[in-house]
Amino acid sequence: MSALVELTAVSKSYGNVRALDDVSLEVHAGEITCVLGDNGAGKSTLIKIIAGLHRHDAGVLSVEGEETVLSSPREALDRGIATVYQDLAVVPLMPVWRNFFLGSEPRKGAGPFRRLDVATMRETTRSALLRMGIDLRDVDQPIGTLSGGERQCVAIARAVHFGARVLVLDEPTAALGVKQSGVVLKYVAAARDAGLGVVLITHNPHHAYLVGDRFVLLKRGAMAGSHAKDGITLDELTRQMSGGSELEQLSHELERAPVPEHLAEDVAGD
């Protein structure tokens, strides 16, 4: 079965700066592909290419086996690719149901009597969230009153409801505590179990290993590794993510030098 989204040797430059260099990954239905890397590794550029914000300069981007160049986020959405950014782009003072349908509001009536179908939006939001296992107290409450984890879960449920086949998540647990991160990861797994292909961008190897099926490691815009889950342990993923040999070298450099014997005797005598 062909991948929902596949990047083959994709590169992107901004002027003289090479932001991505020969990066490849596959996103399959019912799987989570985790992209790991520190700040400046190229994760944001990769997201923008998949989301249709930026065009790649070289390589091939395929959607369901068809080579393509996504020219806008709307085209990406039309091809079934939904991206949930870290800032979520919600209107905090608007109710949950209003944010759920933001930009896609159903209407009823005709002519001058045409208006928003509020009842349908409320009920659809409530049922869509429940299908994902999210039981909010009240969909009329402002979305800004929800926790960061709950807002992420609403965004995931929204993408599933509007027919996304590929869900790209930009550091969904970066600003969350342990408990809220666990809640979000549970709904990321629920999206995978619903048959979506998920791209999880993160700098946390522990979160990635909990839910991931494939791991792509980026370093300074280039691939530092690509692994299936059964081909790498959490310890090795963490070692590669943290720099591996570079970290070992730094550890040696930071080790205390042994105190010369004559100095040790002087200190002991004092």
* Angstrom distance (rounded) from CA 215 to CA 35: 6
Q: Under the phi-then-psi rule, with left for phi > 0, alpha for psi from -120 to 50, and beta for the rest, what region is 256?
A: beta
| CA–CA gap between residue 211 and residue 31 (Å, rounded) | 9
Give the total residue count for the chain.
270
Q: Give me the residue spans of the domains in the chain.
A: 5-91+163-232
Q: Which range has the worst mean pLDDT, 83-87, 166-170, 194-198, 245-249?
A: 245-249
CB–CB of 31/214 below 8 Å? yes
Q: Whole-angstrom Cα distance, residue 96 to residue 142?
A: 6
Q: Under CATH, what is the fold of the domain 5-91+163-232?
A: Rossmann fold (3.40.50)
SS3 20: strand
Residue 217: which pLDDT band, with cuts at 50, 70 and 90?
very high
User: In sequence order, what DSSP letters do the residues of 76-134 get, joined into one string?
Assistant: HHHTTEEEE-TTTT--TTSBHHHHHTTT---EES-GGG-EE-HHHHHHHHHHHHHHTT-
- The pLDDT > 90 percentage for the chain reads 49
User: Which strands make up the sheet holding 66-68, listed edge to edge?
Assistant: 66-68, 58-63, 5-14, 17-27, 222-228, 214-219, 32-36, 197-202, 166-170, 81-84
- Give the tens place of pLDDT for each residue, 195-213: 999 999 998 999 999 999 9
Asked whether residue 86 carries a pLDDT value surpassing 80, the answer given is no
